[in-house]
Copies of this chain bind each other. A is one copy, B any other.
Amino acid sequence: MPLIIDNIQKHVQLTDEEKELFLSKTEIHHYKAKTILLNSGEVCKHSYFVNSGILRSFNINDNIVEHVLNFACEGWWMGDMYSLISQKPGNLFIEVIEDAEVVLLSKENQEQLYSEIPKLERFFRILTENSLVANQERIMDNLSLSAEVRYDKFLKRYAGLNHKIPQKQIASYIGVTPEFFSKMKAKLLRK
């Protein structure tokens, strides 16, 4: 059974016909590391589901500084939510960090599926709710916790990714410079 079906069935149950219908509306693509799946300024036309490999989303502000919004590895969804729902150009990049197999679900197909299989509307509602909770927690963490504790939470959230992602990207995710992150790690080792 494809991973994406298991993922859906964590929240809603599908019949065999529904599974087939769903899968018929998706495409599987393979991407090499460093491929850009979505560029800033483009309209995001797909939701991405990661079968294997690692993706990240980030933006670049005036100063040429990258800021990582999040990572996605096996079993995670990825997309530029703003662009996806508004179908306007977004400001996120989505990039492949490690060679990846990705399931693509187009915006149109996703909307169609909502009508054909209302349970999927429920699934994506729940998925979005969970994502919202995680993002609210991250906001509170960024307001109240030190960089050290935020790193600790990164390690728990993305268990196993620590050594697969360039440090500068982890630094960006927790909201510090690569230099400070390096210093902080050295300090943690000394303990």
Interface residues of A (CB under 8 A from B): 59, 61, 65, 67, 69, 81-82, 85, 114, 118, 121-122, 124-126, 128-133, 135-140, 142-144, 172, 175
B67/A143 in contact, CB under 8 A:
yes
Given A135-B136, A140-B67, A175-B143: A129 touches B128 (CB 8 Å cut-off) = yes
Given A67-B143, A142-B142: A85 touches B130 (CB 8 Å cut-off) = yes
Q: A91 CB to closest chain B CB, in angstroms? A: 9
Chain B residues, Cβ within 8 Å of A114: 122
State the oligomeric state as a number of copies: 2
Main secondary structure of the interface of A (DSSP, over half): helix
A136/B69 in contact, CB under 8 A:
yes
B67/A144 in contact, CB under 8 A:
yes
Chain B residues, Cβ within 8 Å of A133: 81-82, 85
